[in-house]
A and B are shown apart, each in its own frame.
Chain A
Amino acid sequence: MVTIRRATPADLLAMQHCNLQCLPENYQIKYYMYHLLSWPHLLYVAEESDGTVVGYVLAKMEESAGTSDASAGVSSSTGSNQAAPTRHGHITGLMQIAHETMREEYKVTYVSLHVRVSNQAAQHLYKDSLGYQIHATEVRYYADGEDAYDMRLWFVPSRSRKHD
């Protein structure tokens, strides 16, 4: 069974490994360190019972108050043993717990994330399982020139929003 728990510095290398295994945007350890030491409560890992990190979420707060940004990654470093349905289970759980912490601690009104326009599986997951909506398109957001959707999840009902 996969456990979701808060990340500690001892998870930094495993998170980096997980990211290198599954996503095309990669970062040096110092970037993960910066996240962990800036928002220590907003990093979570999904861990197999043998201690292998199979997923993580790095979330952060934007400088302007009340908003936040989140990104998620998930790995399948053991090939077939981590096939699609389970992977999504981790992402949902990881994202939800990060959302809850952001609401509780930072009182955010919404969360936003960027997703590749071509990545329909992820969009589907964010939309249907987590309730995100496409907010805007950012042209050539990724290094390879692809556009990104800025997707947002609002924690307050739309009527009470001052602006969208």
Chain B
Amino acid sequence: MTPLPTAVVGAAQPRKTALPPKEQSLFKQMFRLYEIKQYKKANKTADQILRAVPEHGETLAMKGLILRALDQREEAYDLARRGLRQDIRSQVAWHILGLLHRHDREYKEASKAYQQALRLDPNNAQLLRELSPLQAHTRDFEGLLRTREQMLQQRPTLRLNWIGLAVANHLLCRHEEALQVLDAWERISAKYRFGIDAADQIDSSLLCEYRLRLLEEACADEAALKYAQTCLSDGKILDRTVLLSTAARVAERSGDRALARTYYWQLLERNPDNADYLEGVVRNDTSGSDVVSLLDAISERLGQRESARWSTLDEAPVLGCALGALRHLDGKSLEFQERVKKLMRWFLETAHAPSLFRLIEQFYQDRAKTQTIDVVFRSLVGADMAGVTDEATALFAAEHCLRVTGDAHRAIEILEKFPDSADCVALCAHMWRSVGAYRRAYEAAERARCLDQRDRALNSLAAEYALLAGRSDRALELIFMFTHDGETPPVQAIYNLQVMWFELAYADAALAEGRLDRALKYYTAVLRHFADFREDEFDFHAYCLRKSTISAYVDLVRWEDRLNEHTYYQRAVRGAVHCYLALHRDRSSVTTRLARLRIRKNASAPSKAISETSSSKRTSRRARTPGWMEVDPEGTSLVDVPAPLAEAEKLVFPLLMQATSPAQLPDQLLSAIFEVALESSRYVLAARAVVASLRDATSAETLSPTALRLMVRLSRAAINPSPVTELVKSELNVMLAGIHARSWQHLCEEFFRQRGALDLASVNALAAATGDASYFERGLALLHEAGVHPRLDDVEEAWSLAHSLNVSNEAKATLRAWYPLADVLT
């Protein structure tokens, strides 16, 4: 708990609520005890005061603060509020309430309390200082601006206060004002020579960097360029990467390509491993020569530049240029063929480097290039691939073969000639996985792992595939081998170390096994991590101002605001919503009690791995507070919530309500919001999710599968006549008109006509939304005829749809033909 600073106590003015002298000194003593964390003694002193003056407001509030430090949360708030009631005009009491809320991460509430305190003591510097991060954290930038202005007025000699005001303006996108603040500070500091620590070149460099950034963001191209050029010559900005890349961007934006090229060239010389710089040089070339010869010239010039490090083909920038040239050449040309051959020979015969496929994978989208690559490769290893005699070549041969022929069996045969190579065996695992043969993928991954048990990546691969193969317990054992966090039991260590990829995969596997409790626990774990990432920001509001790392700070704030775009977050939300909805539906059916009993029974028999964990916990000597994962590791309390639907609402509705532009919410989240809204008959919210999912669609052709699904489901759901459904229906009609459809049935026909032969995801969406097996059967036939090879996850979704829709055996056979080795389809 943050100690209550002395300024607060000092500010306790003798008013009519003042204490008698003896109690006043006790009050000071209580505060000192609190500060040195002698909470129990402090509490006794508080009681002593209260015996003499029973309803003394500030003492009551202080006692609240003390009890909070003793972990008595409820009592703490009770006392703080009682204290306030006694002495509503005490800024100390308001301050304490603010501190309590801040401690509990209730920043909005804390901010309100601080503002009340400031109303009573408007110039309290400490209150202002503590309020500003609260406002930044809750994105109350208007409020932050006012606070910062006040702080500056109080102490205009402090550099920090000027930067703080500039940042507040910046966060409100008031670039001009932010720049004016920086200018003013520069003038004042130059005139009076205060606040400048000449020795601290880094800080001043960071500030100049920030100014440059503001100029760029303000689109003041001319000024930005001029400033960058000044800094380039006077060395005020120490970091040349930022300086040169800003200069390059701004020069390009303002049309000065020659200048932009110069800067990109300098950047490339400094860091030749950067494809963006290379592109920048090429894009801004004014010589008029063709791209390929330009790249050759760049390659030669850079190659001459320094050590032998860049003289070989496997290193940037020579490689970057070589690949760039291949991108631009015609796949049928002799030039392309010879260059590919040179690259291939270098990688496979000289360097034996296994990364060739990764590098040229991009060219397989071009049929002519693929063919040439095939010809060249066969000329090296023979038509029957008899020349594949080393690992690097085998790795390439297998990937190439799978890409050209689609024959995973053949590709795996090539790799199986190298059973002692962890790389080859791991690639086998990848190949099995790519065709849906999860059991075999897992077996191969285990073999690869055994070949090099110190390689954590192989361990992770085995764990991931164990989950796909339905071996959750084994996956846990595997992941425990590497996940350590001091003496913390491994289950908790996974959580502490935020191993999200595993938590999500583990939750998905649990869901597939019907273990709602465990799935919900692990999805919730990921959601909690994201809440923590948001929370992690808090300390940096003050820290970055002190460190002058303002540019990075602004990036952080903006990144935090977009955290929900991260796929991990979206998967967790979707997963958790899925669990809550299943629990909700389950609970309202007759089977509820049975299902819950089953969950209980499973939960009471934890896996071997977990029971070992808890026994190791018992033997550890030091008593530790058990972590969130240790308490209820299987999520029993989560599935026991009284109203699962309400939990789902709490999770997703704010996403829609708080979004400034709901259309920017990704499909995954919109679907989740929609499902919850529909389940709770919140049709208006559901309609808002549908509108958002439409984005810029103007016809059935440009409609996303998600938008179609949501639209049809809403149309079919809103049939019971009521004022709300009438509203929704008229909204739907507007939406339909916007994409030139007469009705949802017409929309489906149109969508099928446009997309039915294009991708399986669209067919799946149609079938799922309408429940009409004929769309499914007709769609599969069309896709089959068109020679489309759908993605594995779409086929797996189609397979589960095929069962619920009871489609023809022919359709099922089509699905199986796409992935004959897939576990789920057999």
Contact = CB atoms under 8 A, between A and B. Distances in A.
Q: Do A and B bind each other?
A: yes
Interface in A1-28: 1-6, 8-10, 12-13, 16-17, 20-24, 26-28
A100 B269 CA distance: 13
B314 A143 contact: no
B358 A81 contact: yes
B456 A22 contact: yes
Contacts of B460: 20-21, 77
A16 B501 CA distance: 11
Interface stretch (A30-38, A145-153, A155-163): A30-38
Interface in A26-60: 26-30, 33, 36-38, 40-41, 46, 48-49
Interface string B233-271: 000001111100000000000000000000000000011
Contacts, number: 160
Nearest to A65: B199
Nearest to B199: A65
B426 interface: yes
Nearest to A18: B457
A79 B458 contact: yes
Contacts of B354: 80-81, 83, 85-86
A1 B359 contact: yes
Interface size class on chain A is 35 or more
A4 B498 CA distance: 25
B240 A24 contact: no
A41 B209 CA distance: 11
B698 interface: no
B194 interface: no
Interface size class on chain B is 35 or more
Interface stretch (B4-12, B514-522, B545-553): B545-553
A29 B498 contact: yes
B426 A1 contact: no
B270 A100 contact: yes
A28 B497 contact: yes
A3 B357 contact: no
A9 B552 contact: yes
Contacts of B302: none
Interface in B307-335: 309, 314-316, 319-320, 323
Interface stretch (B136-144, B175-183, B272-280, B585-593): B272-280
A2 B274 CA distance: 8
Contact of B536 (A8, A33, A38): A33
A143 B486 contact: yes
Contacts of B353: 83, 85-86
Interface string A71-105: 00001111111110110010011000100110011
B316 A1 contact: yes
Interface in B400-429: 422-424, 426-427, 429
A85 to B, nearest CB: 5
Interface string B373-397: 0000000000000000000100100
A3 B273 contact: yes
B627 to A, nearest CB: 13
A52 to B, nearest CB: 10
B543 interface: yes
B426 A89 contact: no
Contact of B430 (A12, A79, A83): A79
Contacts of A81: 354-355, 357-358, 395, 427
Nearest to A46: B273
Contact of A79 (B423, B499, B547): B423
Contact of B241 (A12, A41, A89): A41
A4 B458 CA distance: 24
A6 B458 CA distance: 28
B364 interface: no
Interface string B155-174: 00000000000000000000
B274 A5 contact: yes
B624 interface: no
Interface of A: 1-6, 8-10, 12-13, 16-17, 20-24, 26-30, 33, 36-38, 40-41, 46, 48-49, 75-83, 85-86, 89, 92-93, 97, 100-101, 104-106, 143-144
7 contacts: A9-B559, A24-B482, A40-B551, A49-B362, A80-B427, A86-B354, A143-B486
